[in-house]
Amino acid sequence: MCRGGGWSVNVRIAFQGESGAYSEAAALRFNSAADVVPCETFEEVFSTVESSKIGYGILPIENSIGGSIHRNYDLLVQHELPIVGEVMLRVTHQLLAVPGAKLEDVKRIYSHPQALAQCERFLHSLSGVEIVATYDTAGSAKLIRDQNARDAAAIASARAGELFGLSVLASGIQDFDENITRFLIVSRSATPLGEPDKTSLVFTLHNDPGALFKALSVFALRNIDLTKLESRPIRGRAFEYLFYADISVNRQDLQCARALVHLAEFARSLRTLGSYASWKEPAVAESAVQVS
């Protein structure tokens, strides 16, 4: 599948993690012909795109169970890469182990903190098992494969299990079936990948009574739907906050432009992080990408 105009068959997308990571699956869901490039950290995704080595980067930003990935909110402000697209990916977690291992053998379970948070009920049902947070789900699968750790398991995707030759001890272990992660696509170019109908902003306010109410009213007065509001502390300025907002309108829409001018009148700072096409599920189910 290829969504959005301007994508070429040799487009390259950087993602955080090993092959088999959910970020890789999300990138291929957006463009099944993409050349996906693994990076060890989210910071490396940004620096790789900024250095012109890779055209796009993909970042998980929030999960329907685990909530927001705060590090990536911070990185969006620290870097100047506009958001040009988004992807929604349904996530199904597997408990993976080396062939021959049994669930009762497992003494340690490795995975990314978000995946661990999404499987809390399953993990709490186990006794005498150490939970170890790592940098990546697929990387955790690779770790136990490389160590041939028969007393360890990893929470990762079915594809990661296939790539690293692991067996499934338990399937669908996330707390809720509706486990969906939203990803953002960033680029050096602000050209959106598709027709924009969504805009992401970040702003700061003076610490005055009703300041946030006034800020949000600029959208309500113009019947603009606010779909996300997130606050993050401003580093070095104790108990002062950045506010991230997603609104369901193109930045070029007249009502949006007026709302932002209105907001700028009393906001301490205001920046548009990107205007892009909101994710729409394909009409026909894709078979080329295994996302579970």
Dist. CA 104–CA 94, nearest whole Å? 16
- Helix axes 70-78 and 42-50, enclosed angle (nearest 10): 30
Q: Which residues are catalytic?
A: 181, 183
Q: Which residues contact 204 (CB under 8 A, 6 or more apart)?
A: 234, 240, 241, 242, 243, 267, 268, 269
Dist. CA 242–CA 204, nearest whole Å? 5
Token representation of residue 255: 């009502």
Dist. CA 126–CA 5, nearest whole Å? 48
Dist. CA 220–CA 207, nearest whole Å? 21
Token representation of residue 162: 């296939």
